[in-house]
Structure 1
Amino acid sequence: MTIAFWCVLIALCLPYLGAWTAKFGGRGFGLQENHDARSFLAGLEGFRKRAHYFQLNSFEATPAFAVAVIVAYVVDNADPALVDTLAIGWVTSRLLYFIFYLADLAILRSLVWFVGMAIVIALFVISA
């Protein structure tokens, strides 16, 4: 399996990093809250609320990345080393996005979000 495909697996797991941080990053989540976790998450504040938002954004962003990696390999026009490098860059951008989201650094968060989207576009472009 290629590095880029491993990055897709990592990307699929990243939303759960946000969920875990939101639920267990402080007091209050237990068996009772698990019966209605969405209501619990909707009532969060601070970094835990931002971790939940990271989770939601990750579920939105990851499919485009996964498709871009798959297209890059199926079309077979792109250099595999470049695809791997871009995939690592995307995962790195998402980890920075998570850190900047938790730290409430909105401008940096938005910048790395744009980097991640540029990487997805680049994966399609190098496949053309």
Structure 2
Amino acid sequence: MNTLHIAHFTVAYWCVLVAALLPIVCAGLAKYGADRFDNRDPRGWLARQTDWRARANAAQANSFEGLPFFIGAVVIAHQLGAAQTPLDLLALLYVLLRMFYITVYVAGLSTARSAVWTAGLLVNIGILFLGYR
């Protein structure tokens, strides 16, 4: 008999998708309402931005930078057989922290930004070691 295996997408895996979309949200924020956005040279245009648009662009870059560690931590935790509920909760917490990080970054709250970034890093380390025995 041929058994069909259907992959189960955990909450943590859905969080990977959301985290992967957050840099795109940041780019949209940086470009939102711009009178003269230059789609022929978007990186040059973004490099010339100031204030909250520049911070949204920086949040985009940081979101891309943090993504590989989060993806790796989630995959490793799954491979090590981590308990699913704590893994899902930590992955949700990481995504919520990243959303808050973007908010405080764009708002220019540098101390809060650093604190939230650190919390996200610690949660990510927690995810990585969740399946450690």
Q: 1:37 aligns with which of 42, 51, 55?
A: 42
Q: 2:55 aligns with which of 41, 45, 50?
A: 50
- The yes-or-no answer on 1:101 pairing with 2:105 is yes
Contact 1:93 1:115 in 2 (8 A): yes
Task: State the structure with more CA Rg.
Answer: 2
2:118 equivalent in structure 1: 114
Measured after TM superposition, the shift of residue 23 of structure 1 is 1.3
Q: 1:75 aligns with which of 51, 75, 80?
A: 80
Aligned length: 124
Quote the sequence identity (%). 39
Which blocks of at least 5 consecutive residues in structure 2 are unaligned? Answer: 1-8
Question: Which of the two has greater helix per residue?
Answer: 1
Alpha-carbon distance between aligned partners in 1 of 2:128 and 2:95, rounded to the nearest angstrom: 17
Normalised to the residue count of structure 1, the TM-score between the two structures is 0.94
- The yes-or-no answer on 1:63 pairing with 2:68 is yes
Letter in 1 for 2:112: L
